[in-house]
Amino acid sequence: MASDPKNRPDPFLTDEETAPLTDAEIARLRRGEEVFAELGLPAPRGRGRPPAKVRKQQVTLRLDPDIVERFKASGRGWQTRINDALREWLKTHSLPRTDAGPDGNG
């Protein structure tokens, strides 16, 4: 049975063990980079991947379900493998030029 919501602690209330910071404590706060440098440790890098040298372009592409299933079944990186397969195909095939711009519109 689920616990009664009335008996749950309010997560927004300050507990007795954790007092709010005083003005003096706030004045002593330093940026993480300073503390890591003082300790001689490398600062953790930011969230996410580092920026790529060549950014990929996001597109919407409709593929047959069996194609998507085969690539997804090969595990993580399946979209990169589709990109690689298209790149390999372009090495041996030529596409006709059109008057359309790079986005497919005239």
Provide the residue ranges of all domains of the chain, joining segments of one domain with +. 58-94
Long-range contacts of 25-29 (CB under 8 A, 24+ apart): none
Q: What is the pLDDT of residues 5-38, one digit of tens each?
A: 677 777 777 677 778 889 999 999 999 999 999 9
Q: How far apart are CA 6 and CA 77, in angstroms?
A: 46
**Closest by Cα among 54, 106, 62 to 82:** 62
Q: What is the pTM (predicted TM-score) of this model? A: 0.47
The dihedral region occupied by 98, where left means phi > 0, alpha psi between -120 and 50, and beta the remainder, is: beta
